[in-house]
Amino acid sequence: MKETTTLQKSPPSGFQLINNEDNPLDTIEVCLDGPGKQTFSTQLMEEHTPFENGQFHLKIHITSHYPTGPPSVQFVTKIFHPNIAPRTGEVCVNTLKSDWNSKNTLSDILTVRLYLPYYKNLVDTIDCQIVTDRS
């Protein structure tokens, strides 16, 4: 897939692709730098976050429906966030669900993930208990 080759050559800022030969061809593993490790993060952060200076591993599974349907994205690193399923690491945001657009690229998807540790989307929560605990 041409898009994955492009992504490997120049991933979005704040991401490193992990070369894991054990992964199936339809799976991409990436490492996301958390707030504080990225140059623009201090401008985005209104308050300190528990994700500050962290590194987070994600897997993107490119489904057979891609690009007309979204890939599935999950955090491999355990993360306590209202838009991340606590058991599976599944990411729940409109961009990967009802607002999916076939013009979205893998780079676009990663860029959306880049902002997740900064903000919680309370409309798309996957774990309401986390919202209650953090409010």
Which sequence positions are flagged as catalytic?
A: 92
Question: Is the four-CA dihedral 97, 78, 86, 49 of positive or negative sign?
Answer: negative
Rounded distance, CA 126 to CA 91, Å? Answer: 8
Rounded distance, CA 25 to CA 101, Å? Answer: 23
Give the residue from 105, 101, 41 showing the smallest Cα distance to 69. Answer: 101
